[in-house]
Amino acid sequence: MDIKEVIMKRRTIRKYQQKPISRDILSELAESARLAPSAANMQPLAYLVVDQADLLETVFATVKWAGYLAPHANPKEGEKPVAYILVLADTTIREDGYQHDAGAAIENISLLAWHYGIGSCWIGSVDRPALQKALKIPGKYAIDSVIALGYSAEESEAEDENGSIKYYKDDQKKLHVPKRKLTNICFFNQIED
């Protein structure tokens, strides 16, 4: 897949095959995040990869899924992520303002994952104190986001928004993600109302 196809076809995936992701690929995903842009090149981010079965359940219990579709779109047994990458900010390097760095890193993870046929879900709705305690993450690290990973077990497609941006599933359980039309959000040289 070339980069354009990866960007255009990548969608959030919330149901996964139970096929493990190799540590080599998980390391590559972290490497792609490490190489993302960083404001003032301060590089405050760190990555905790979780692929151990009991810890997967620990992480799963601290995240919330798909607000528009909950609880029906939540992964069930046999559909849960097979790995997570926690994006952490070392607050001794940068106490605040690391969120832009995290966004760039997370996008790199998601795009490279899709290149390998691996679906991802960027999760911001996290019980951070509970997860920090459960995984014994040192206090100097702030949890920015959790990225769920697994080979896709569902279909998802983008479509032009037609009155609502709420994503939905059709009768065949295919996920549809309305996106605002480019002509409504892209302007050249000036914005006309």
* pLDDT tens figures, 31-48: 999 999 999 999 999 999
Residue 78: pLDDT band by 50, 70, 90 thresholds? very high
Query: How confident is the model over 108-148, as pLDDT tens digits?
Result: 999 999 999 999 999 999 999 999 999 999 999 999 999 99
pLDDT confidence of residue 156: 87
Q: Which residues contact 129 (CB under 8 A, 6 or more apart)?
A: none
State yes or no: pLDDT of 29 exceeds 80: yes
**Is the pLDDT confidence value at 67 over 90?**
no
Name which residue leads in pLDDT, 132 or 74. 132
Residue 155 pLDDT: 87
The rounded mean pLDDT for the chain is 93
> Which residue, among 59, 56, 34, has the nearest Cα to 47 in the 3D structure?
34
pLDDT for residue 75 is more than 80: yes
**Mean pLDDT, residues 155-166 taken together:** 88
Note the pLDDT of residue 80: 97
- Report all structural domains of the chain as residue ranges with CATH numbers, in order of start: 3-153 (3.40.109.10), 155-193 (2.20.180)
- What b/e readout covers 45-70, taking b as 16+ CB neighbours within 10 angstroms? bbbbbbbeeeebebbbebbebbeeee
| Residue 63 β-bridge partners | 126
Element (H, E) at 101: helix 99-115
Residue 70 clears pLDDT 80, i.e. is over it: no
